[in-house]
Amino acid sequence: MLFFSLKLKDRSYLYYLLFLLSLMVTFLLYDGSLINLFRRDSFYYKLEFLTYFSNEIWFLLFSIKFLDLNKRHPLLTKLFFIPLLLVLLLYAFYFSTNNFVYSAIGDFIGVSLFPILWFLGFYYRFSVWILGSS
C-alpha cells in the first residue's frame, strides 16, 4: 500500500493504509492482545478512544479521496469534518465526567457517518455513469 501511495502519488492508498493500521490496533485491543502491555495502566482506555478516533479520521479521509467527493461536492465534503469535531468533543466530555453516554453518542455519530459518506459517493458515481454527466 505504501509503495502504491509513493509510486502512483495517490494519497488514497496512504489513507487506506493508515486506516487499516488503526483498525488492526483496534482489533488487538478487542481481542485482548494489547492488554498485557497496558494491564495496570489507565492509558489502555485512552488508547482505545484514540484508535476509535483515528479510525474515523483515516476512513473519512480515504473515503473523500477515493470517491472524489471533494471534486464533486466540495462544500458537503467540508461539512463532513464537523461530526468528527463533535465526536472529539464528546470523547473529551467522557474523559472529564466519566459518563459513558458521551462515549456512546460519539461512537454512534462516528459509525453513522460512514454509510452516509459511501451512499453519497455511490450516488455521485452512478449518477455520472447512468446520466453521463460529470
pLDDT of residue 105: 94
Q: Which of the four pLDDT bands, split at 50, 70 and 90, describes residue 102?
A: very high
Give the pLDDT mean for 41-60: 83
- Nearby residues of 34 by Cβ (< 8 Å), 6 or more positions away: 25, 28, 44, 47
Please determine, for residue 83, whether its predicted confidence score (pLDDT) is greater than 70: yes
- The answer to whether residues 72 and 124 touch, using CB atoms and an 8 Å cutoff, is yes
Q: How far is CA 109 from the centre of its chain?
A: 11
The C-alpha cell of 70 is what?
471533494
Closest to 111 in 3D by CA, of 70, 46, 52: 52
Give the pLDDT mean for 41-67: 84
pLDDT digits (tens, 9 = 90+) for 3-42: 655 666 778 888 988 999 999 988 888 887 777 777 667 7
Q: Where are the beta strands (DSSP E) in 66-116?
A: none
Sign, CA dihedral 74-80-82-84, equals negative
Calpha distance 134→40 (Å, rounded): 56
